[in-house]
Structure 1
């Protein structure tokens, strides 16, 4: 309803007097005065309020505007204007959980309106021309402050590296981007040489061993060729290791080196240090400044513990990306990837590492076959003028016959391939560049073909091929074959490794025991012959495995392999003694020569060779069997040699050691 117009009456302005404080009134009293004034005004004008008149929505006005109109009307003498009742301001949305049931909203609104009314009444008593400021709008809901971002790690800043002294570089290698399988242009053939060996009992055995003769016109006088009738090991000994002018005559010997601290530093590398090659290189090498061997070892150990050989890619031929960056990112690769990563990690410290490409006798290469090996890559380095080789791929572990890897990196770790000498690695690695053999003179390919297959335990245990039969293949016409091995005595206790030898015969699939017989001895080594019988015509693989004398795990590791080819029919096949071990000493049965012998020859000799005897113990050997099962004691005729003469009748006999009871050594049959 619009306000009616009343002529303004200007009263005389009263003399200024002291203003009295405003009377505090509640909102209810103000609204009541408004209602009374409206009713009085309607009665004075003679107007009646119609019944059931539709009310229009009141015009929204603030409390300040209402009070201003009241003040103006009071000064002009007009009756109280009819004003719409104030409405509550809209309630702001909230996400808070409501408190227990109380009239909090009404109390809060009443308090706010009371405060606003009091402030407005005080200001209206000053002057009519003064403008009353509107009530402040409700405060907006506070917006939650955004979470501050986490502090970002700055880009790795590689600290400056100390300058190492300059080292002589290896001979330059022709540029080669990929690993390719190497095939020699020279051809070779073998000629059979019959050798006769006599046993201790006077029995003669004939066997044929391979002698390789070069038929290539490209043979150079500058290479160490393999001639007919040569001893393989003697021919290899003519190849001296290559050195530089800085070599002082003392070769690097890591036999007794303790790398435990260095290896622990490598395996403790934090993951954030492996983000890029420069950062990883600095972590692995900065802890050992000016120590080239320690820096190289730390890189070697980290690769062996963190990079896994890509077996699936190797078997399928899909080798993938083998750049150093890709191998570091994926933690997998083949030999080229291992060699590339080792080279890149050593480059920031100027360690003098190069890459070598060629072939190697690894997984899938048949012993005695025509192939020189599968494509392979490794590294070379010069230390104090001596050229040494590093194969981080084989150091990380070899593929088993089943085409898998041991899941434990420590179990498959092969430290032998760290800084290995060239004359040792040449048994299995043939570089494409002759100069990268680092032998003087270099070896001819025919000599490489004739070398037996050696594995890391051959060096770590001291099981070395020896004699004229040390080629990788042995031929025989009478079902019998033997090879000679040298067992190096351990420096601190003069013990030799224990041997367990097996013949894996392909035509029948049999696994036959081979017998290791003591032959001779000197101050540094014991020489033994490994003997086997072939059950039929065909070929097989003779495996020589061993373990340390103080190893109680009864687990032997492969040291040497030979190919045995038999042209006989197996008629001379004889059973040999089953391998055995005794904790207190080692021994070799020299007589009888087989596990089955014939009776009717009078007294026969039983002879045993004993070694690795523990201090304070004395072997007491005996033979039990025959019609009177009483122990027949063997007497010591020489240091470590025991024997007795006994008439053997048909039956079963046992050789034993009289300790706590009788410990079993071997048994044989007399027919």
Structure 2
């Protein structure tokens, strides 16, 4: 009877975190039972992502195990906040949550989870990027509009190769229980990039991880010729991302933003729209985070806005975007100067 209780308890734990029946990922068999238990232990930590990182790093041996466990940890213990998503679409909320808020609340939206994923990977020396772009899922809240990036996910490097994943699409829990799933969906972990591209289109084509770039029109209007034209050859994006990974984080963001501007020139001010959410936290006056900002934080934000402004001018963007960057640079400078007093 005691052994039966242990088995039932273990089954409940595994079901809660959605163990894949085969346990095969990237051609390797994983002990998903053990990794899901690690993810469950990590889910009890609500103070710091550093502690979550140390737990996963100390308990997992390989990059593959660590990435799987991070995916299981976020998708299995966090809730997708549908109420917050509505406020974002109504433009009543302008910023993403800070990591401390995400971990404490255990809920957020796609950008929050993508940020958490890349932070945990960075802390474990795993190459990873947050990706912004378009998504066709959740049509009620995610209409595909060329002027608005509506989703965020990740690409990650495991054993020298890049893969796409979307922890939000794999998520088990939602703030409205009627959307809850029985288990985590691992179909969006290390997904074939061509299959992944049916529902996702990154703003920067390097993140497509395919041989032939898919255009916005092809994605928007469900054209399938693109799927046939791609092969299993190593895509150009692999080398681009490896080179980008060696750069400073600011240059990484700018590379993505400028590539997005070239990829879809009809999206005026694409570089600004792509980075705005990332750097507008500096001017946020509604949280205690404001008191923790340093001079270097303002200078980094000013640098990004200056580079974006130059790019907008070179691409003959609308004057309202250029004037907006001027305003932000001025405002940031004023906030920075207050720190000296």
Pick the structure with more strand per residue. Answer: 1
Are 2:49 and 2:100, in contact at CA under 8 Å, matched by a contact in 1? Answer: yes
- SS of residue matched to 2:152: strand
- In 1, the alpha carbon distance for the partners of 2:178 and 2:195 equals 25
TM-score, with structure 2 as normaliser: 0.51
Could you give the per-residue CA deviations for residues 156-206 of structure 1, whole angstroms, max 9, x where no partner exists?
xxxxxxxxxxxxxxxxxxxxxxxxxxxxxxxxxxxxxxxxxxxxxxxxxxx
Structure (1 or 2) with the greater helix fraction: 2
Tell me which residue corresponds to 1:411.
182
Structure 2: runs of 5 or more not aligned = 1-24, 228-341
Equivalent of 1:304 in 58, 75, 90: 75
Per the alignment, residue 263 of structure 1 pairs with 36
Distance 1:275 1:252, change over 3 A: same
Matched, 1:336 2:90: no
Shift of 1:407: 7.3
Counterpart for residue 435 of structure 1: 206
Contact persistence 1:398–1:405 (CA under 8 A): yes
Distance in structure 1 (CA, Å) of the matches to 2:212 and 2:73: 35
- For 2:43 and 2:74, the matched residues in 1 are separated by 14
Give 1:275 deviation, angstroms: 1.7
Q: How many residues align?
A: 198
Q: Higher Cα Rg: structure 1 or 2?
A: 1
Alignment partner of 2:169: what SS?
Answer: helix
Q: Give the superposition deviation at 1:279.
A: 1.0
Question: TM-score, with normalisation over the residues of structure 1?
Answer: 0.27
- In the alignment, the residues of structure 2 paired with residue 425 and residue 345 of structure 1 have an alpha-carbon distance, to the nearest angstrom, of 23
Q: What residue in structure 1 maps to residue 64 of structure 2? A: 293
- Alpha-carbon distance, 1:451 to partner: 2.9
- Alpha carbons of structure 1 residues 351 and 327: separation in structure 2 relative to 1, 3 Å: same
CA distance in 2: counterparts of 1:294 and 1:277, whole angstroms: 18
Q: What is the CA distance between 1:425 and its match in structure 2?
A: 1.0
Separation of aligned partners in 1, 2:76 and 2:139: 24
CA distance in 1, matches of 2:86, 2:141: 16
| Paired residues of 2:153 and 2:165 also in contact (CA < 8 A) | yes
Return closer, same or farther for 1:370/1:384 CA change in 2, 3 Å cut-off: closer
Q: CA 1:362 to 1:405, structure 2 compared with 1: closer, same or farther past 3 Å? A: farther
CA contact (8 A) 1:391 1:417 kept: yes
The answer on whether the counterparts of 1:308 and 1:333 sit within 8 Å (CA) in structure 2 is yes
Contact 1:323 1:341 in 2 (8 A): no
Query: Residues 270 and 357 from structure 1, CA distance in 2 versus in 1: closer, same or farther, beyond 3 angstroms?
Result: closer
Aligned partners of 1:430 and 1:437 also within 8 Å: yes
Q: Is the 8 A contact 2:39 2:69 kept in 1?
A: yes
Does the 8 Å contact 1:365/1:371 carry over to 2? Answer: no
* Aligned equivalents of 1:345, 1:326: Cα separation in 2: 15
Contact kept, 8 Å, 2:155 with 2:163, in 1: the verdict is: yes
**Residue 166 of structure 2: aligned partner:** 391
Q: Is 2:43 aligned against 1:252?
A: no
Distance 1:366 1:348, change over 3 A: closer
The structural deviation recorded for 1:314 is: 0.8
Aligned residue for 1:278? 50
Which structure has the higher relative contact order (CA within 8 Å, separation 6+)? Answer: 2
